[in-house]
Each structure stands twice: as structure tokens, then as C-alpha cells.
Amino acid sequence: MKVKVVEEEILIDFTNVLSTTDIHFNPVIKKKNYLIKSFNSIPKKTTRILGVSINPYYFTCSCKDFRAKAKEFPKRDFRRMCKHLFIYLSKYHWDEMDSLTKILLEHKFWAKILNVIEIEINENTFFIGITKESIFIIYI
């Protein structure tokens, strides 16, 4: 399977998959952007960090970067993450997060991940990450 991003479309080439599987292969594809999961252990209160107000439970921040991204992306979307939320979550709630969320959050800033898309193909879940230089796939 090959994955390629062209403008806003993700192209998936099933050529190799088709040649090695049953002729009746008919993929059911569901695509959605990766959303940060809620963590019940995080209090529902607003707190201050580095001069801004954040509410990590609701995944909000008062900083300029977050407010701009909030206009563009839906609630809990991975791309809304600002450095203030990242610092707070990594300092106080890192052990409560699942491995995939940790990996994606760490690499959002260091590898400059632009987006992560969750794709379900015949009940198999793939996460396709997109950076300026490359595409990566995580299969769960």
C-alpha cells in the first residue's frame, strides 16, 4: 500500500494489497482528523501557565496561536495544540496519556507534524501523519 498527499487529498494505492488478497477485496474507508482524547483525571478548571489561561480538560488556551487555530480546526483537533497546553499536559498528565497521543504530541513540535488523519480500512486503523518533508503511517 502506498500513500500520497496531493493538495487536500490523500491517495491510497492498493495495488500490492489487491495482488496478495482475495479478489473480493472491497475496502470500506472512513477518514477523520485525529482528535485528542479526554482524560477524566484532568480537572475541569482553568489554570494559568506562562502568562495565559488554559483549560486542559476542555483543551483550550487564551494564547494568540490557539485562538487562531480554534477558528480553523474543530474542538480537540490535534492541530489546535499550542505550546502552553503541551507543556501543561506533558508536565502534569503525561503518564495518563495513551502511547499514540504521546508520540504525536512529542513529534508535533519537534518533527513539525502538520496533520494526523485516522483512517479505518475494513476495521483496521491507520494513522497517517503529514509533515512538510514526509508522510508516515502508524498501524494499530
Residue 48 lies in a domain: yes
pTM of the predicted model, to two decimals?
Answer: 0.68
Q: Contact 114/106 with Cβ under 8 angstroms?
A: no
Between 73 and 139, the higher pLDDT residue = 73
Residue 104 lies in a domain: no
Lowest mean pLDDT among 10-24, 55-69, 79-93, 110-124: 10-24
Mean pLDDT of 95-103: 82
pLDDT of residue 23: 46
Mean pLDDT of 80-100: 87
Interhelix angle 99-110/83-92, rounded to 10 degrees, is 140
Total domain count, the chain: 2
Q: Based on the domain organization, do 24 and 52 belong to the same domain?
A: no
pLDDT of residue 18: 47
Which among 80, 124, 125, 128 is positioned nearest to 105, based on CA atoms? 80
Of all residues in the chain, the percent with pLDDT exceeding 70 is 75
Helix (H) or strand (E) segment spanning residue 46: none
Q: Based on the domain organization, do 130 and 88 belong to the same domain?
A: no
Query: Which residues form the domain of 26?
Result: 1-35+117-140
Q: State the chain's mean pLDDT as an integer.
A: 78
Give the tens place of pLDDT for each residue, 16-74: 654 554 545 555 566 677 778 887 888 889 999 999 999 998 999 999 999 999 999 88
Q: Based on the domain organization, do 42 and 93 belong to the same domain?
A: yes
CA atoms 100, 101, 103, 104: torsion sign: positive
Residue 139 lies in a domain: yes
Q: Based on the domain organization, do 19 and 42 belong to the same domain?
A: no
Residue 111 lies in a domain: no
